[in-house]
Amino acid sequence: MTGLLDPWTLFDVIDVVGVFIGAFTATLVARRLRYDITGMWALALVAGLGGGLIRDLCLQVGPPLALTEPAYLPTVAIATIAGATYGGKVDHTWKSIVFLDSLALITFAVAGSLRTLQYDYGIWATALLGVITAVGGGVLRDVLSGETPMIFRRAELYALAALGASVAMIMLDLLDQPRGSIALAGYTVGLFLRFGSLRWGWMSWAPRAPEERSRG
Amino acid sequence: MTGLLDPWTLFDVIDVVGVFIGAFTATLVARRLRYDITGMWALALVAGLGGGLIRDLCLQVGPPLALTEPAYLPTVAIATIAGATYGGKVDHTWKSIVFLDSLALITFAVAGSLRTLQYDYGIWATALLGVITAVGGGVLRDVLSGETPMIFRRAELYALAALGASVAMIMLDLLDQPRGSIALAGYTVGLFLRFGSLRWGWMSWAPRAPEERSRG
Amino acid sequence: MTGLLDPWTLFDVIDVVGVFIGAFTATLVARRLRYDITGMWALALVAGLGGGLIRDLCLQVGPPLALTEPAYLPTVAIATIAGATYGGKVDHTWKSIVFLDSLALITFAVAGSLRTLQYDYGIWATALLGVITAVGGGVLRDVLSGETPMIFRRAELYALAALGASVAMIMLDLLDQPRGSIALAGYTVGLFLRFGSLRWGWMSWAPRAPEERSRG
Q: Which pLDDT value is given to residue B214?
A: 41
Q: Grade residue A3 by pLDDT with cuts at 50, 70 and 90.
A: low
Q: Closest approach of chain B CAs to the CA of C89, in angstroms?
A: 31
In contact, C17 and C104? CB cutoff 8 Å: no
Q: Grade residue A37 by pLDDT with cuts at 50, 70 and 90.
A: confident
Give the C-alpha separation, C49 to C145, whole Å: 16
Q: Which pLDDT value is given to residue A200?
A: 84
Please list, residue by residue across B178-188, b when 16 or more beta carbons sit within 10 angstroms of its beta carbon and e when fewer do: ebeebbbbbbe
Mean predicted confidence (pLDDT) in B153-157 = 70
Alpha-carbon separation of residue A190 from A54, A97, A116, A123, A131 (angstroms): 21, 18, 17, 18, 11
Type of residue numbered C203: M
Give the C-alpha separation, B11 to B130, whole Å: 13
- Check C38 against A159: CB less than 8 A apart: yes
CB neighbourhood size of B85 (10 A) = 11
Among the listed residues A178, A42, A15, the one whose alpha carbon sits nearest the alpha carbon of residue A106: A15
Type of residue numbered A16: V
pLDDT(C35) > 50:
yes
Q: Find the chain A residues whose C-beta atoms sit closer than 8 A to any C-beta of B.
A: 31-43, 53, 57, 60, 62-64, 66-68, 70, 72-73, 84-85, 87-88, 91-92, 143-146
pLDDT(B201) > 60:
yes
Q: Which of B39, B67, B84 sits opposite C121 (nearest CB)?
A: B67
Q: Which pLDDT value is given to residue A45?
A: 93
Give the C-alpha separation, C83 to A54, whole Å: 28
Q: Which chains touch C (3 or more CB pairs under 8 A)?
A: A, B
Q: Which pLDDT value is given to residue A1?
A: 44
Q: Which of B27-31, B80-84, C3-7, C33-37 has the lowest mean pLDDT?
A: C3-7
Helix axes C94-117, C37-59, angle to 10 degrees: 30
Give the C-alpha separation, B214 to B34, whole Å: 43
Q: Among C36, C49, C139, which would you mutate to test the A interface (most chain A Cβ atoms within 10 Å of its Cβ)?
A: C36
Mean predicted confidence (pLDDT) in C36-43 = 88
Q: Grade residue A32 by pLDDT with cuts at 50, 70 and 90.
A: confident
Give the C-alpha separation, A141 to A16, whole Å: 18
Q: Which pLDDT value is given to residue B212?
A: 45
| Tens digits of residue pLDDT in C121-158 | 888 889 999 999 999 999 999 999 888 888 877 657 88
In contact, A135 and A111? CB cutoff 8 Å: no
Query: Which residues of A are less than 8 Å from C42 in CB distance?
Result: 135, 151-152, 159
Identify which has the larger pLDDT, C16 or C145.
C16
| Tens digits of residue pLDDT in A191-209 | 999 999 888 877 777 666 5
Q: Grade residue A145 by pLDDT with cuts at 50, 70 and 90.
A: confident
In contact, A130 and A116? CB cutoff 8 Å: yes
Q: Which of C38, C88, C143 sits opposite A210 (nearest CB)?
A: C88
Give the C-alpha separation, A91 to B74, whole Å: 50
Please list, residue by residue across C73-111, b when 16 or more beta carbons sit within 10 angstroms of its beta carbon and e when fewer do: eebbeebbbbbbeebbebbeeeeebbbbbbbbbbbbbbb
Q: Among A36, A65, A141, A148, which would you mutate to test the B interface (most chain B Cβ atoms within 10 Å of its Cβ)?
A: A36
CB neighbourhood size of B50 (10 A) = 25
| Tens digits of residue pLDDT in C86-120 | 887 776 677 888 899 999 999 999 999 999 998 88
Q: Which pLDDT value is given to residue C213?
A: 43
Mean predicted confidence (pLDDT) in B5-19 = 84
Q: Report CA B96 to chain centroid distance, whole Å.
A: 16
> In this prediction, what percent of chain C has a pLDDT beyond 70?
88
Among the listed residues B115, B147, B143, the one whose alpha carbon sits nearest the alpha carbon of residue B129: B115
Q: Which pLDDT value is given to residue B165?
A: 96
Determine the length of chain C. 216
Q: Which of C58, C121, C159 sits opposite B42 (nearest CB)?
A: C159
Mean predicted confidence (pLDDT) in B7-13 = 82
Q: Which pLDDT value is given to residue B58?
A: 92
Q: What is the largest CA-CA distance in chain A?
A: 66
Identify which has the larger pLDDT, C113 or B6.
C113
CB neighbourhood size of C20 (10 A) = 21
Q: Which pLDDT value is given to residue C8?
A: 65
Q: Grade residue A38 by pLDDT with cuts at 50, 70 and 90.
A: confident
Q: Report CA B111 to chain centroid distance, whole Å.
A: 9
Give the C-alpha separation, A49 to A19, whole Å: 7
Q: Does residue C67 sit in helix, strand or coil? A: helix
| Tens digits of residue pLDDT in A110-129 | 999 999 998 888 888 899 99
pLDDT(C56) > 90:
yes
Give the C-alpha separation, C121 to C59, whole Å: 9
Give the C-alpha separation, A86 to B88, whole Å: 48
Q: Find the chain A residues whose C-beta atoms sit closer than 8 A to any C-beta of C.
A: 57-60, 121-122, 124-125, 128-129, 135, 139, 143, 148-149, 151-155, 157-160, 203-210, 213
In contact, B105 and B189? CB cutoff 8 Å: no
Give the alpha-carbon dihedral of B34, B38, B43, B49, to 10 degrees. Answer: 160
Give the C-alpha separation, C180 to C162, whole Å: 18
Q: Report CA B114 to chain centroid distance, whole Å.
A: 13
As a whole number, the mean pLDDT across chain B is 86
Q: Which of A149-158, B35-44, C132-141 has the lowest mean pLDDT?
A: A149-158
